[in-house]
Chains A and B, each alone.
Chain A
Amino acid sequence: MAKEKQTAAVIRQECIATDIYSMWIETSIADVSHPGQFISVYPKDRSKLLPRPISICETAPGRLRIVYRIAGSGTAEFAGYKSGDPIEILGPLGNGFPLDGQDALLIGGGIGIPPMLSLAKALPGKKTVVAGYKSELFLTEDFAGHADLWIATEDGSSGTKGTVLNAIRENHLTGSVIYACGPMPMLKAVKEYAIEQGIPAWISLEERMACGVGACLGCVVKTTGKDEHSNVNNARICKDGPVFDAKEVDLT
């Protein structure tokens, strides 16, 4: 199935932490999506032109789950949707994570944790998840049975005090491949760590987007080599990403 924009239905929604919402959506997009891909969600408020890109947290036949944070009035609108409400979505978008990793180290920071769930469920072999929070935890129980979970909190209220990197070093966590999604400072630190350890790393990036399908060139990231599509050192996060080989993107 090609990408399509459709009006899907909300199955159920709950608030799982302060400003963090989990929504299950009934949609055929679920059956053709891949871990690390995202959907565009369109506010019904027509003063808002652009879709909100939201990562897919997990899927089941005919349904998918998004876990997102209220970041403005668009996502606040989504948070008000109830069971049975229509929701305008487009997807699946982006490339997703390669699934060839054995003994994988999955690193998620904040609202970058949700896509790690579908990845943990899809990857073969041993999986270690390191989740970094400010303080309040979410999704921790969902990883049970799919991966070993290690937690870092900025205030030290759970797990290691500090960042995901603190948790990795303190607990001597390792793997043969790293997958990461989270805020830019975390991704920079993960890239440095991966290079230092000589481990390949796949990182998922975000940027302000408009079209979500690769046409507008709004959401580019600098690449270390010349990108084939742009013919300059810019790749499209929505289309060529959001997942990149950490060595191929310039995060400075």
Chain B
Amino acid sequence: MNTQVCIAGIPFKNPVMTASGTFGSGMEYEEFVDLNRLGAVVTKGVSNVPWPGNPTPRVAETYGGMLNAIGLQNPGIDLFIKRDLAFLKKYDTRVIVNVCGKSVEEYLEVVEKLSDQDVDLLEINVSCPNVKEGAIAFGQDVKALSAITKAVKEKAKQPVIMKLSPNVTDIKELAKAAEASGADAVSLINTITGMKIDIRKRCFALANKTGGLSGPAIKPVAVRMVYEAAHAVKIPVIGMGGIATAEDAIEFIMAGATAVAVGAMNFHDPYTTIKVIEGIEAFMREEKITDLESIRGCVN
């Protein structure tokens, strides 16, 4: 049985990754999950300098999901390289570093510092809805997305994944723009901008007022967008959004995703990634599938 997938010429032992921001750099989950079994660890977004993030409350539960407005709190690239990347070196898994910034220059500073590091791919976060400058501003406009993709591709020593936002009118246009500007892959969806109001206190549930919706509630939206993106571009699509089970992951693969990522469900069950990997293998045995590639995009 072959569960191996390939992105930008790089083989992954299986298609199951962690979604950025839901798994730290793996340190907090190593006592639950053998990181060696993951297709890849995708780290929480890292910027050129430490970012303090948003005020609390930063999270709120919603029906079948959650809102978050962490605001990309991170320790900055220097400590990240020294501590988090050093930690990940112990494991036989692919490392994808999620990069964030407020300006093109800030993204490039991080990309350059990662150029001589043991990192397999970069995921450029142009879709976080919770910071005022940068991030999503680059992901909602075809011209801005094209410009940052080109700029990153010029500097990057590793293949580049552009992480796309669902908060757009036509995901196909953004996916095509990323591909035309040299992206090696796209990943989607980031969270959907949402809001929750505490009716007893008559205030917003999140200090940031709005937050990003994730969890099983968003899965049908994510499957639809992955399907649209996968049919609009030739580069690989990494699908995510509410994956809780192997069945969910297989939906994304049948919609056209080369790989998938588990996000908010890590908070519900720290063993979710491993259950998804084992469930995909069980599904392949049941359905007599020898190569996962044979079902990718099979729904047309």
For B65, the closest partner residue in chain A by CB is A49
C-alpha gap A90/B31 in the complex (Å):
12
> Complex Cα distance A1/B238, Å?
36
Min distance, Cβ B251 to any Cβ of chain A, angstroms = 18
In the assembled complex, A2 has its CB within 8 A of some CB on chain B? yes
- Tell me whether A216 is interfacial, beta carbon within 8 Å: yes
Chain B residues positioned under 8 Å from A64 (CB to CB): none
CA distance A208 to B70 in the complex (A): 12
Tell me whether A50 and B24 are in contact in the complex, defined as CB-CB below 8 angstroms, given that A218-B58, A230-B73, A231-B76 are known contacts: no
Nearest CB in chain B to that of A1: its residue = B31
- Do A211 and B73 form a contact, CB below 8 Å, given A217-B58, A231-B79? no
B267 lies within 8 A of A207 (CB): no
Q: Is B146 an interface residue (CB 8 A)?
A: no
- Whether B264 lies near A4 (C-beta < 8 A) is no
Contacts of B216 in A (CB 8 A): 46, 49
Q: How far is the CA of A113 from the CA of B189 in the complex (A)?
A: 43
A8-16, A18-26, A148-156, A232-240: which lies at the B interface? A232-240
Task: Flag whether B66 is at the interface (Cβ < 8 A).
Answer: yes
Min CB–CB distance B161 → chain A (angstroms): 21
Question: Which of B2-10, B48-56, B162-170, B180-188 lies at the interface with chain A?
Answer: B48-56
A50 lies within 8 A of B29 (CB)? no
A42 to chain B: which residues have CB within 8 Å? 268
- A218 neighbours in B (Cβ, 8 Å): 56, 58-59, 68, 70
Number of interface residues of B (CB under 8 A): 39
Q: Considering the chains assembled together, what is the distance between the CA atoms of A213 and B22 in angstroms?
A: 11
Residues of B contacting A2 in the complex (Cβ-Cβ under 8 angstroms): 31
Are A220 and B53 interface neighbours, CB within 8 A? yes
Return the contact of A239 from the options B28, B68, B215, B268 (Cβ within 8 A).
B28
Cβ–Cβ < 8 Å partners of B289 in chain A = none
Contact B28–A214 (Cβ < 8 Å): yes
A199 within 8 A of B: no
B220 CB within 8 Å of chain A: no
Q: Which of chain A's residues has its CB closest to B75's CB?
A: A231
Task: Please report the C-alpha to C-alpha distance between residue A217 and residue B60 in the assembled complex, in whole angstroms.
Answer: 13
Is the pair B52, A234 in contact by a Cβ cutoff of 8 Å? yes
Contact A215 B56 (CB under 8 A): no
Determine chain A's interface SS by DSSP, over half rule: loop
A3 close to chain B: CB less than 8 A: yes
- From residue 228 to 252 of chain A, which have CB atoms closer than 8 A to chain B? 229-234, 239
- Is B57 among interface residues, defined by CB-CB distance under 8 A? yes
Point out the residues of chain B lying under 8 angstroms from A5, CB to CB: 32, 269-271
Q: Is the CB of A216 within 8 A of B51?
A: no
Q: For B264, what are the chain A residues with a Cβ–Cβ distance below 8 Å?
A: 49, 210
Set of chain A residues within 8 Å of B297, measured between Cβ atoms:
none
Task: Out of B57, B60, B66, B75, name the residue touching A230 (CB < 8 Å).
Answer: B75
* A30 to B128 alpha-carbon distance, docked (Å): 40
Within the complex, what minimum Cβ distance (angstroms) separates B29 from chain A? 6
Asked if B31 contacts A207 (CB within 8 A), the reply is: no
CB distance from B234 to the nearest CB of A (A): 34
B59: chain A residues within 8 A (beta carbon):
50, 208-210, 216, 218-219
The answer to whether the Cβ of B61 comes within 8 Å of any Cβ in the partner chain is yes
Q: Write out the residue numbers on chain A whose beta carbons fall within 8 Å of the beta carbon of B50.
A: 230-232
Q: Is the CB of B22 within 8 A of A215?
A: yes
Does residue B21 face the partner (Cβ distance < 8 Å to A)? yes
A171 at the B interface (CB under 8 A):
no
Task: Tell me the A24-73 residues at the B interface (CB within 8 Å).
Answer: 42, 46-51
Contacts of A3 in B (CB 8 A): 31-32
User: What 1/0 mask marks residues of chain A from 194 to 230 whose CB sits below 8 Å from any chain B CB?
Assistant: 0000000000000111111111111111000000011
Q: Which residue of B lies closest to A74 (CB)?
A: B61
Give chain A residues whose Cβ lies under 8 Å from the Cβ of B70.
Answer: 216-218
A50 touches B268 (CB 8 A): yes
Report Cα–Cα, A197/B44, bound state, in Å: 43
Complex Cα–Cα for A239 and B267 (A): 14
Residues of B within 8 A of A (CB): 21-24, 28-29, 31-32, 44, 50-53, 56-61, 63-66, 68, 70, 73, 75-76, 79, 215-216, 264-271
Besides A215-B23, A232-B52, 4 other CB < 8 A contacts? A5-B32, A210-B59, A213-B28, A213-B29
* Residue ranges of A at the interface with B (Cβ–Cβ < 8 Å): 2-5, 42, 46-51, 90, 207-221, 229-234, 239
A-B contact pairs, 17 of them (CB 8 A): A42-B268, A49-B61, A49-B66, A49-B267, A49-B268, A50-B66, A50-B267, A207-B56, A210-B267, A211-B270, A215-B23, A216-B59, A216-B70, A218-B56, A232-B51, A234-B73, A239-B28
